[in-house]
Amino acid sequence: MDKLKMHSPDLSQENIAKICDLFPGCVTEARDEATGQLRLAVDFDQLRQELSDHIVEGPQERYRLDWPGKREALALANTPVAKSLRPHIDESTDFQETKNVFIEGDNLDALRLVQETYLGQVKMIYIDPPYNTGNDFVYNDNFTSATTEFLESSNQKDSAGNSLVANPTSNGRFHSDWLSMMYPRLKLARNLLSDDGVIFISIDDGEVQNTRKICDEIFGSDKFIANFVWKSRQNIDNRTTTGASVDHEYVLCYGRAIRGSERKIEQYTNPDNDPRGDWVSANMVGIATADRRPNLHYDLIDTATGINYGCPTMGWRYDRNTMARLIQEDRILWPSSPEGRPRRKAFLSELESEFTGFSTILGSGIYTRDGTADMMALFNERVFSFPKPVALMKKIVEQATKDNDTILDFFAGSGTTAHAVMAQNAADGGNRKFVVVQLPEALEKGNREQKTAYDYCHGIGKPANIAELTKERLRRAGKAVLEGECHPDWNRDVGFRVLKVDTSNMQDVYYRPDQIDQKDLLATVDNIKPDRSPEDLLFQVLVDWGVDLTLPIKRETVQGKTVFFVDGSALAACFETGVTEELVKELAGREPLRVVFRDNGFVSDAVKINVEQVFRQISPATDVKSI
């Protein structure tokens, strides 16, 4: 019986497999210096030659963004991590029914853990990362450890791997550290986007150019949609030292397309009862001079009245032949005076789309103070500094998503994205789902800007960290949305499952059995850590198998043992000991798609050996694994 790997996917090996499909001659085998095991490896010299139409003799200069630590950042994105997502039902809201997820922990770990769960399924990503102003913090990722060292250290809580560190402008790696923090996260995020998915990134002048360059590299420059400008400040900054009041922020957008603004179809009418339906008067004046487009410059005459309307300075929009056809089809509106301009009937029924362009000037009349007002309405205190307004995020959500789409925000912060998803669902009847990630960044009582938030957390009996505030905001926001006007088609889902990034549920022996001494064998008979619950094991199995983390879970007693059934027959899991052949046969009779047992959970070796045979006979389509 095969064992589940119980760590995030090794993306480097998956990428090599993709190269092998395209260029099999460029992939070979090499011995891993750390483990001594054979692994697939790329012959980069051969690959360079495959991608060139001339002989490649050495590295070539090319246009790209480089910085100290880039290769390490890329390796970090590809490195598997042996961690888990542990469910916390007591901190969740409507755990059994909700389709929303709140992940507490380092977003790099979270993104690696959900690679298979949300692969190609996220319609929209929005992030509001640290702006790298010199006063904020960046994630202190470990870029110096080797892959094997990282995998070992990822089995235990490592504050250096999860903490935030100051990044002052005096730091010689000021931009490099920020780019190294962003690059692996965006690389992993790209894998989660659907083919028609869109990513939005809020950023300021300090890193907008670098952000665009790494997005060009990761998502493709051809996927650039727009660099939206949001006038975030309503009043002039009187504290400016340069004389310029910086009143804006940017929202970079990459993907295939956004929806666009709704056309104002109420302006279409049919005053003359035209059988072709409602229409609007459209301009026919051109935009080219006579020397550039002489075929568009001619006198336009109404043959019915003989009135000559002449030719505009910039000519007409259509040439003579097209204009003659429009006249024949009775689409021209002729003024009664020669000084008037003929116009064209544009019919509503002939519109190619009900949408038109969405302005790159984003959120007119929506300011940062509106985000503060949103928070005050929920908390009656300023527990977050400069939160994004819900109204702004609703516009973004509306542009990129609909119906049952999934939205991801892995810098959740104040929780505005999740709040906006709930609010937009209530407005239009969609059933969008959110996945948000937030690090439990500690609040400091002595920090004047954090004191209000610190005191608030203690006042409600919660640990003083950002993640606790985010969860509390979502609880209050959900309640407020339900108390307002709700679309009848909305499923009214304002809950969320809380999952926390933690060390693996498995003992070290599970990952490195070759390093266990004989004297330690008795202590490692059970490869599962003693403090982990069956629910902890279930969710690590869901992550490992790439199963939806919000599917309904039913707990049953079968043959005296606790068995979890996920979404009916999607997965059956029994982590108890003393599993008998009768239990195995009963589970096989239910024909689940997947089934998992504890490796040492069988009543005898004979039962363990026969498990796969039983399922082959009764339920051959079931995938059988153990942990």
Q: What are the sequence ranges of the domains in the chain?
A: 83-262+357-501, 264-352, 530-626
The predicted structure's pLDDT at residue 69 = 86
CA-closest candidate to residue 375, choices 451, 452, 450, 473: 473
Find the radius of gyration of the CA atoms of the chain.
Answer: 30
Give the ranges where 121-173 is alpha helix by DSSP (H): 147-153, 159-162
Segment holding 84, helix H or strand E = strand 83-87
318 Cβ partners below 8 Å, 6+ apart? Answer: 284, 296, 326
What is the sign of the dihedral through the CA atoms of 68, 136, 229 and 430? positive
Q: What is the number of alpha carbons within 13 Å of residue 471 lying toward its C-beta? A: 28
**CA 294 – CA 296 distance, rounded (Å):** 5
Stretch 104-129: mean pLDDT, rounded?
97
**Which long-range contacts (C-beta less than 8 Å, at least 24 apart) are formed by 58-66?**
64/217, 65/179, 65/210, 65/213, 65/214, 65/217
Q: What is the DSSP letter of 458?
A: H
The predicted structure's pLDDT at residue 75 = 84
pTM across the whole model: 0.84
Q: Which of the four pLDDT bands, split at 50, 70 and 90, describes residue 335?
A: very high
More confident position, 463 or 158: 463
| pLDDT tens readout for residues 182-199 | 999 999 999 999 999 999
| pLDDT tens readout for residues 123-143 | 999 999 998 876 666 676 654
The CATH architecture one would assign to domain 83-262+357-501 is 3-Layer(aba) Sandwich (3.40)
The predicted structure's pLDDT at residue 148 = 41
List b or e across 551-570, with b for residues whose CB sees 16 or more CB atoms inside 10 angstroms. eebeeeebbebebbbbeeeb
Average of per-residue pLDDT values in the chain: 89
| pLDDT tens readout for residues 500-542 | 999 999 987 665 555 556 555 554 567 899 999 999 999 999 9
| pLDDT tens readout for residues 532-565 | 999 999 999 999 999 999 999 999 999 999 999 9
| pLDDT tens readout for residues 415-459 | 999 999 999 999 999 999 999 999 999 999 899 989 999 999 999
